[in-house]
Amino acid sequence: MPDIRPALGARPNLLQMSHVEKTFRGDIVALRDMNLTVNQGDFISLLGPSGCGKSTALRIISGLMRPTAGQIRWSGGQSKDDLGIVFQEPTLMPWARVIDNVWLPFRLRGVPYGQVKDDVLRALKLVGLEKFQRAFPRELSGGMKMRVAIARAMVTRPRLILMDEPFAALDEITRQKLNNDLLALREAIGCTVIFVTHSVFESVFLSDRIVVMAARPGRVIREVEVDAPYPRTEEFRTSPEYAAHCRQASDALHQAIGEVA
């Protein structure tokens, strides 16, 4: 399938993060003057060393946390209710079957299962788990649990999906497979993604923009554009182009680590 999304500069705006600051307990400056433009269809990675404020930025965008200063402005017709979130832990309900875990976002909105059955089954099919709909989380591998969490985040077809290091605890092969599947899913539902990671390789494979952050205080120090077209395949993962982008992102990350006071 060809990449039919508008070029980076031509995408309509989804949200704007302006001059966001977050201070904890009066003196821990987690974020300072963070500005981020998110456009429809972007796949943005927030890349940076531990403690640079990646999760804090994600929580502020989600509305789960209020900034100390600055603001998040959503473009017309959008709202923070129009998003799905995937955390590092799959956070499934252990007593509920896979299908009930995926139905949860609808259930919380009071929508009966019968009304959204097709959406729930479609989401499970997209993550390759339709045969496991009656299973309990304890019967699944780590990668499968994460697939359920992703299905749950996308079942309402949100415009924006926020992912906080979702694959960090998985082995490398499972992680690469989930990276491939995530891109395929993104094509299928056409959402925007903001993805937090420590991994240069993962960020280059997935994103079209990498926002590199430095710590103390957490701030954006560089944006790296990955202008390779989607779909991205194993061929891309072993190409000189991929290696060149990894070098660029890695240099920026070293700069970020070097800038820690």
Ligand X SMILES: Nc1ncnc2c1ncn2[C@@H]1O[C@H](COP(=O)(O)OP(=O)(O)OP(=O)(O)O)[C@@H](O)[C@H]1O
Per DSSP, the three-state class of 19 is strand
Closest approach of Cβ 56 to ligand X, in Å?
Answer: 3
Query: Of 225, 229, 218, whose CA–CA distance to 244 is shortest?
Result: 225
Interactions with ligand X, residue window 18-37 (CB under 6 A): 24-25, 28, 30
Residue 53 or 105 having the CB closest to ligand X: 53
Closest approach of Cβ 142 to ligand X, in Å?
Answer: 19
- Whether the Cβ atoms of residue 34 and residue 58 lie closer than 8 Å to each other: no
Interface with ligand X (CB under 6 A), residue from 54, 145, 147, 219: 54
Q: Does 50 bind ligand X (CB under 6 A)?
A: yes
Per DSSP, the three-state class of 241 is helix
| Integer Cα distance of 207 and 46 in angstroms | 10
Tokens of 38: 């998110």
Read off the DSSP letter of residue 168: T
Interface with ligand X (CB under 6 A), residue from 52, 98, 126, 182: 52
Q: Does 53 bind ligand X (CB under 6 A)?
A: yes
Q: Does 238 bind ligand X (CB under 6 A)?
A: no
- Strands 192-197, 160-164: pairing kind: parallel
- Whether the Cβ atoms of residue 194 and residue 34 lie closer than 8 Å to each other: no
Interactions with ligand X, residue window 65-124 (CB under 6 A): none
Closest approach of Cβ 221 to ligand X, in Å?
Answer: 13
Q: Does 61 bind ligand X (CB under 6 A)?
A: no
Q: Does 64 bind ligand X (CB under 6 A)?
A: no
| Integer Cα distance of 251 and 104 in angstroms | 42
Closest approach of Cβ 51 to ligand X, in Å?
Answer: 4
Residues forming the site for ligand X (CB under 6 A)? 24-25, 28, 30, 48, 50-56, 218
